[in-house]
Each structure stands twice: as structure tokens, then as C-alpha cells.
Chains A and B, each alone.
Chain A
Amino acid sequence: MGMFTRIIAGCRSLLRRAQVERELDAELQDFLTTAVEHKMRSGLSREAAIRAARLELGSAAAVKDGIRDIGWESIIDRSWQDVRYAIRNLRKSPGFTAVTILTLALGLGASTAIFQLADAVRLRPLPVEHP
């Protein structure tokens, strides 16, 4: 179906995440309730019906995860989660973070400085014929 439809649907679920999530919860809850009623009508006790319905649904979290994985916006969602996780971990160990940033900064700085030197001295020919 149109790529357009998919893009729109993805944007919508990114923008209205809370509502999408709520609807999903409501839908799964309704699934459970309907399943219990259905099973009680076919002669199970309330407890047995609830148990059977839970079994049928499986882990609601797993089902929701399976649904969330659909569509391109889940990739954005996941990357954003990764970024947040990385920042959280870096803040937990400021020493490590400082050393890492310093190492990168010094390493990049030193390499650039040396390259500038090499560039000026060796790579660019002097503007005279016989220096």
C-alpha cells in the first residue's frame, strides 16, 4: 500500500504515542474480558476462564512489543532509546566519561596539529623553484 499511507501512519503513532499506547492497552484488555465471558458461557468457572484467557493472550507485554515493532517508526523509537541509555550510563560514571572525552579531544587535536605541520612543511610545495 502506498508508501504515503505508511509514512502518515508512522508519523501519527510517533506524535500521538500516549494515545496509541492507551488504545492498545484498551484493546488487549477488551480481548481478555471478551475471552473470559466467552469461556464462561461455554461452561468454565470464572477462575478457570480467567486463567484460560490469560494463557491465550500470553504475555501482554510481549504482544505489545510485537505490535510496536511494526512500521518504520519503531526504528526511530529504538534509536532514541539507545541514545538515552547511553547518556544515562555516561552520567553514571563521570570519570570514565571525562577520560574518554579527553582522550578523543587530545587524540583528534594532536593528529590535526601534526597533519597541519606535515601539510605546511612537506605537502605544499614552496612557491619558489629551487628552495
Chain B
Amino acid sequence: MAEDKQSGLVQGTLYMLILKTLTLEPMHGYGIGVRLEQISKGVFQVNAGSLFPALRRLERDGLIAGEWLVTENNRRAKYYRLTAQGRGKLTRETRDWEVQARAIARILEVSPGDL
């Protein structure tokens, strides 16, 4: 996660990915970063400089809610969970994303004889 590999992330999709990650379970900042890296098999490495501003923005917009909880090793950590609003937003964004991804795929797969 040391390097910023954000260039591999389409602009604006980090928010959607964070929201999706939080549907699994409430997590703290570091956990979200690790989870994104794991699930994407190392393709997306989100550094703190992008992750925390994104979390702050989502929290301000009421899409996620932060809560200070005690972790398993007796420390206080800020856990984020998805709000109802965030769930709705994720559904909409996922739908939009699928439409766009399919359209892009169709364009990329087109060959001279197709039209």
C-alpha cells in the first residue's frame, strides 16, 4: 500500500468501493484499505492520503457513520459503518457503473463487420 496506485482507479470509484467494503462489516480505516487490496488481489492499493479524505467526505455526506469502539486488542478505533443513505447510494452507483461498464465493453469489442 506504500505506493499510490490510484491511477488504476477510475475517478470517483473509490467512494463506491469503500461503500461496498462496508456492506460486509463495519471496519476501521486501515481495515478498509487492506480489504480493498485483498479483494482486488493487489490491483488497488489505496494509501492513507486518499483513503482518509474519502472517508471524511463520505461521513460528512451521511453515507457512512463513524463510531469509536474498543478493538479486540483493547484499543479505541474509529469504526465506520454504512448508513441507510449510503446503502441507497451504493445501489444507485452500482447500477450506473454496470450500465457504463457494459457500454464500454460493447464499444471495445466492436469489430469492422459488426455495424
Residues of B59-88 contacting chain A, CB below 8 A: 60-63, 68, 73, 75-78, 85
Q: Mark B23-35, 1 if CB is under 8 A from A, else 0.
A: 0000011110010
Q: Pick the contact of A63: B52, B61, B62, B68 (CB < 8 A).
A: B52
Stretch at the interface among A24-32, A81-89, A95-103, A111-119: A24-32
Contact A66 B53 (CB under 8 A): yes
- Count B interface residues, CB 8 Å: 25
* A34/B61 in contact, CB under 8 A: no
Residues of A within 8 A of B60 (CB): 5-6, 9, 70-71
Q: Residues of A within 8 Å of B, CB-based: how many? A: 28
CB-CB under 8 A from B62, the residues of chain A are: 1-2, 5
Supposing A5-B60, A62-B49 touch, asked if A55 and B30 sit within 8 A by C-beta, the answer is: no
Choice from B2, B34, B52 contacting A55 with Cβ under 8 Å? B2
Instruction: List A contacts of B1 (CB < 8 A).
Output: 56
Please tell me if the beta carbons of B52 and A28 are within 8 angstroms of each other in the complex.
Answer: yes
Of chain A, the residue at the smallest CB distance from B4 is A58
What are the interface flags for A68-93 relative to B under an 8 Å C-beta threshold, 1 for contact and 0 otherwise? 01110000000000000000000000
| Contact in complex: A58, B49 (CB < 8 Å) | yes
Contacts A1-B62, A69-B53, A70-B57 given; indicate if A58 touches B28 (C-beta within 8 A).
no
Known: A30-B76, A31-B48. 4 other contacts (CB 8 A): A9-B60, A34-B77, A66-B49, A69-B53
* A-B CB contact pairs (8 Å), 14 listed: A5-B61, A23-B68, A26-B78, A30-B28, A30-B75, A30-B77, A30-B78, A31-B30, A31-B52, A34-B28, A56-B47, A63-B48, A63-B53, A70-B53
